[in-house]
Amino acid sequence: MSAHPAIHHPHSEGEYEDLLSLWSDLESALSVLLARPLQVQDFPGKVRQFDTWLQDLVAHDIDAALYLMFQHASTSTVGYSASHALVCGTLCHIMALELRLPQRERDSLVRAALTMNIGMTALQDELAEQRERPTAAQQEAIKSHPEESMLLLERLFISDALWLDVVGQHHASITERVPLAGQDPEDRLTRILGTIDRYAAMISPRKSRAGRSATDSVRAIVGQEVDQRDEVSYTLVRSIGLCPPGTFVKLENGDTAIVLRRSEKANHPLVASLLDRSGSHHVQPTLYQTASGKPRIQSALARSAVSLELNHRTMVRLGLYAAQHSAGLRGLVTGPGAL
């Protein structure tokens, strides 16, 4: 188990350079935890520690966290299970803030997200690499994994009933017709986790298919038009956006750009244009505030549609620099010392 690296709040732009390695470290540590949970000393304490770590990283700067998370999820070298757990945990944390969930529910939700598939970690990694349909034995294991995960968590001394219940029913379909506030905590959290789980699974590339774009993933979940019918999807789109930081977009001038930060206007992020319409690299990335006019975003692009090596440190710093020098984005920069 790797040690918990020191987390600093950034007091200068330079410290953002460390964020990327902190994400990788968290992902690696989580991958060990999920792969060999019975060999971990004080499993509940480790999960709490990783949760704190995750919150610190997001508190630094939500946009940088989303950027690194989405970039990382699509290029990650650790197994799919750990990468998926981290994406779900982070998105559930952000959703809990948006939905103003009570602290207790927030904790159960995020920890359930990090551990929901712990009963089939190896199989989940295997399936992500597999091109063929699951075998009958694999299908059987997939079917029983929520229950298996719950039983394993009990063996690992998890005693939070809400966390356990949500893991145990995380693939159950919960009605979306009832307002979230009117549901039992168990159903409310299962509903949120279910939407996030489907969204994160669709966005990630796996051997059997390339990942979809974030926009397609949201639309596949909520239908062609995102409206207020379902509070969870609506909140996901409003807070994270159809084109979240770290995803690629096609601009209406034909350029290929990467989303750096959200702006105050939902779904009108700050983007850095990287390629022109013929696919040639720009000498330097051009920044566009899509909220203030042209060029607009034409469509989202799946990661697999773009073959580009990016310097994430430069991109995160570029986004931060632009945010610091733009009134429209300023209000969204969070974390002490970020301004």
Whole-number minimum distance, CB 127 to Fe ion, in Å? 11
Tokens of 56: 């610190």
- Residue with the CB atom nearest Fe ion in the bound state: 117
Q: Pick out residues in 296-335 that bind Fe ion (CB under 5 A).
A: none
Whole-number minimum distance, CB 151 to Fe ion, in Å? 14
Q: Pick out residues in 83-122 that bind Fe ion (CB under 5 A).
A: 117
- Our CB check for Fe ion shows the closer of 146 and 244 to be 146
The site map against Fe ion for 134-173 (x = CB under 5 A) is ----------------------------------------
Whole-number minimum distance, CB 166 to Fe ion, in Å? 11
- Our CB check for Fe ion shows the closer of 97 and 201 to be 201
- Our CB check for Fe ion shows the closer of 117 and 195 to be 117
- Listing DSSP states for 202-238 in one string gives HHS-BTTBPPPPHHHHHHHHH-SS--TTSHHHHHHHH
Whole-number minimum distance, CB 120 to Fe ion, in Å? 8
Contact (Cβ atoms closer than 8 angstroms) between residue 158 and residue 39: no
Whole-number minimum distance, CB 113 to Fe ion, in Å? 10
In the block, residue with structure tokens 């732009």:
13
- Our CB check for Fe ion shows the closer of 85 and 300 to be 85
Contact (Cβ atoms closer than 8 angstroms) between residue 138 and residue 128: no
Could you tell me which residues come within 8 angstroms of residue 235 by beta carbon, excluding any fewer than 6 positions away? 95, 98, 99
CB atoms within 10 A of CB 293: 9
- Our CB check for Fe ion shows the closer of 121 and 215 to be 121
Number of residues that bind Fe ion (CB under 5 A): 1
Residue 37: cis peptide before it, omega within 30 degrees of 0: no
Q: Pick out residues in 249-288 that bind Fe ion (CB under 5 A).
A: none
The runs of H, that is alpha helices, within the chain are: 17-35, 43-60, 62-75, 80-98, 103-115, 121-129, 136-155, 161-168, 185-203, 214-222, 231-239, 312-324, 327-330
Q: Pick out residues in 13-72 that bind Fe ion (CB under 5 A).
A: none
- Our CB check for Fe ion shows the closer of 147 and 227 to be 147
Whole-number minimum distance, CB 276 to Fe ion, in Å? 42
User: Under the rule (CB under 5 A), what is the footprint of Fe ion?
Assistant: 117
